[in-house]
Structures are given as structure tokens and as C-alpha cells.
Amino acid sequence: KNQVEQSPQSLIILEGKNCTLQCNYTVSPFSNLRWYKQDTGRGPVSLTIMTFSENTKSNGRYTATLDADTKQSSLHITASQLSDSASYICVVGSGNTGKLIFGQGTTLQVKP
Amino acid sequence: DGGITQSPKYLFRKEGQNVTLSCEQNLNHDAMYWYRQDPGQGLRLIYYSQIVNDFQKGDIAEGYSVSREKKESFPLTVTSAQKNPTAFYLCASSESFYSGANVLTFGAGSRLTVL
């Protein structure tokens, strides 16, 4: 069964600190992996997209990594800001159906 | 500004009523999607449309209906047959259907509450 599992479920950090969110998937065949940021009560916004051949991609203070062998991805946030408080969703694209499988998200709270 | 507009933002429905959620895009995207989001769960696909006048059931289509009469519009009707309709509904679009690393653009969502 195609699944995407994220950890931790929630996280609280102090402003200025770094953090790393994890995503494990069992989607096969794999096509691509995306990270989205979703503010409360809003729609998700794309942060990064990585295909099989890419193992790292950055978007400002956000850096995503992909290990296709272990089927793991991480999203590293550097020098966190209060505006980083949101839910971060890992999404994996299936290579044969084209469908997207969504993780349940990690809720990040950045405190001053 | 190019984007996706969903309305209404909040909607309350009595049991037994049908309600329609609006989704309009001005991105000239061919593909459009409806997702449902519940607390602690990943987004689940309700319906999708690859092109005008065509739509397909997603993973949880029971109790929902859609139409795609215009490229820009993809309304979702939540019927009385949907047993647990209280949720956050998200509309999205992409240039084409799920090809390669197509980026999904999401609307701001509509929150439906059944009284």
C-alpha cells in the first residue's frame, strides 16, 4: 500500500533555532517528492519538488533532501522565524498512476 | 493576480441539504482537483478533471458531484448522501494532469460545517 508517514506529528522550537522534519514513504514506483507549507486555514503552498535524480533542493531557508534508496526525505529549516509556524506536508507522486499521496503533516510552532 | 478563488470561505449546512462550493482559476490550467482535509489526516482526493467536460472519481467520491463546463470553473456539490461532510475542502489546479513534477496550485479552502 502506498503510504507517506511524517514525523514528528508536532514540534515547538524557539525563534532562530533550526529544525528538521522527516518523511518516510512506501510509494512505488516513485516519481517525485514535494514539500508544501500550509498556514492555518489556508491552502498549501509548494516549497520544493525533487525527482529521483535529485538529492537536495533549497528554497531560501528551507532545504529538502531525498534518499531514494532508503525512501526517506527531510526538510531542514534554518534560523526559524515566527512566520514559519505552519503545517508542513510531504507529498509523493506515484510513477504509474500519476496520483499524489499526501502525508498527514507536521505542525511546527515557532515561539519568540 | 493569477490564482484560484474558492467561495464561500465558511459554510454551514443543515443535515439533508446539498451545498455547492465554488472554485475558479485564471491560470489557464487544464487540470483541476478537489481534496478533502480532516484533522490528523493527509489530503484525500475527491474528484479531478483533466480537461473541460471530463472528470474522474478520486479516492472518496461517494456523496459528492462535480461539473467542468468551463476551463476556469470546477464546482463541487456536497450532497445529502455524504455521511460526514464536515471538513476543510481544497481546490487545486495544474498545467496538466499529474505529469512529471507538475506543481499544484491550491485555493484558500472552504470550511463546511454540518449543524
User: Which stretches does DSSP call E strand in B14-109?
Assistant: 19-25, 31-37, 44-51, 54-57, 64-66, 76-78, 87-94, 105-106
Distance CA(B110)–CA(B70), nearest Å, equals 21
Q: How far is B10 from chain A (nearest CA, A)?
A: 10
**pLDDT, tens digit, for every residue of B55-73?**
999 999 999 999 999 999 9
* Model confidence band, residue A96 (pLDDT cutoffs 50, 70, 90): low
At residue B28, does pLDDT exceed 80?
A: yes
At residue B100, does pLDDT exceed 80?
A: no
Cell digits of residue A103: 502525508
Q: What is the DSSP letter of A66?
A: E
Residue of B6, B8, B35, B2 whose CA lies nearest to B23: B6
Are residues A93 and B101, on separate chains, in Cβ contact within 8 Å?
A: yes
At residue B1, does pLDDT exceed 80?
A: no
Which positions in chain A touch B10 (Cβ < 8 Å)? none
At residue B44, does pLDDT exceed 60?
A: yes
Instruction: Look at residue B107 and give its three-state secondary structure.
Output: coil
Distance CA(B30)–CA(A36), nearest Å, equals 22
**pLDDT, tens digit, for every residue of A48-84?**
999 888 999 999 999 999 999 999 999 999 999 999 9
Q: DSSP of A10-49, one letter per residue?
A: EEEEETT--EEEEEEE--SSEEEEEEEEE-TTS--EEEEE
Number of H helices, E strands in chain A: 0, 11
Lowest mean pLDDT among A21-30, A95-104, B28-37: A95-104
Which positions in chain A touch B93 (Cβ < 8 Å)? none
Cis peptide upstream of residue B75 (ω within 30 degrees of 0): no
The bridge status of strand A10-14 relative to strand A106-111 is parallel
User: Which of A32, A97, A104 lies nearest to residue B42, judging by beta carbons?
Assistant: A104
Residue of B44, B49, B74 whose CA lies nearest to B59: B44
The answer to whether the beta carbons of residues A56 and A65 sit under 8 Å apart is yes
Identify the pLDDT of residue A83.
97
Cell digits of residue A65: 533532501
* Model confidence band, residue A1 (pLDDT cutoffs 50, 70, 90): confident
Amino acid residing at A79: A
